[in-house]
Amino acid sequence: TETGTQLRRAADRGELTLHWQPIVRLADGATVAAEALLRWQHPVRGLVAAGEFLPVAAELGLLPEVAAWAVEAAFAQAAAWRRCGHAPHVYVNLAASQLASVDLGSELSRLAAAHGLDRRGVSLELSEDVLGSDVVALGERLAHQRASGFSIALDDFGAGSTALAWLRHLPVDVLKLDRSFVATVGEARTRTVVRAILALARDLGVRTVAEGVETEAQRDFFAEAGCDYAQGWLLGRPVPAEVLLPG
């Protein structure tokens, strides 16, 4: 396809870029972290979001290349921020192909070393569609990443059917509560489930992020319920690095 041909050249032509969405600490509203979100600056179509072109990249077998580009760019930005005296915690999404790769550990080590990255400032985000079925084996591999300093975040937590299995088997530091909980938090039933998830996270010593917060009422509920952080359009859209943290 035409899109495929263009996508193949996108990285070489410098058309891939990261946008950064702020993650706010609910206790005081401070921006303490940011999630890297991949964008394709297309010469004609303009800015294309990850959700639009990653599925195409996956179909064409380009996902490993594109996802690796994003991780390296995120590490480079995290290291650059630190050198300028900014130190937002950085969240980067991992693709299924990266998690499945036997070289994941050595590749992340190589990139971290190449950029002089402090791994304690980086969380690797995994989502359910990425996890596959062998949760126990994956847990062992993630434990290695964790031992090397990265923290592990479960993205879209609660959206799928295997959330509790993840919690039992995966060494995790952060739960990012799926947007669907935030969107329906006006319903009593959702609030009950959310409170239970937050209590579970507290007992496990796991931090929590509410995703897709669009209204003050949503933010206030999660703040009062004891969620640690929030992310969403109310708090900030994804923007280029220099817009998130000027200078």
What are 37's two structure tokens? 């979100």
- Which amino acid is it at 183? A
Binds 67: which of Na ion, Mn ion, ligand G, none (CB < 5-8 Å by kind) = ligand G
Asked if 92 and 108 touch (Cβ cutoff 8 Å), the reply is no
In whole angstroms, the minimum distance from the beta carbon of 35 to Mn ion comes to: 6
> Which of the 8 DSSP states describes residue 18?
E
Termini Cα distance of the chain: 40
Give me the 86-125 binding string for ligand G, x by CB under 6 A, dash otherwise. Answer: -------xxx------------------------------
Size of the site for Mn ion (CB under 5 A): 3
Give me the 41-80 binding string for Mn ion, x by CB under 5 A, dash otherwise. Answer: ----------------------------------------
Size of the site for Na ion (CB under 5 A): 3
Asked if 145 and 172 touch (Cβ cutoff 8 Å), the reply is no
Say how far apart CA 242 and CA 185 lie, in whole Å.
Answer: 33
Say how far apart CA 123 and CA 89 lie, in whole Å.
Answer: 8
Write down the number of H helices and E strands in the chain: 12, 9
Closest to Na ion by CB, 15 vs 173, is 173
Report the site for ligand G in 217-246 (rule: CB under 6 A): 232-233, 238
The residue ranges that bind ligand G (CB under 6 A) are: 21, 36-38, 49-51, 54, 67, 70, 93-95, 127, 155-156, 211-214, 232-233, 238
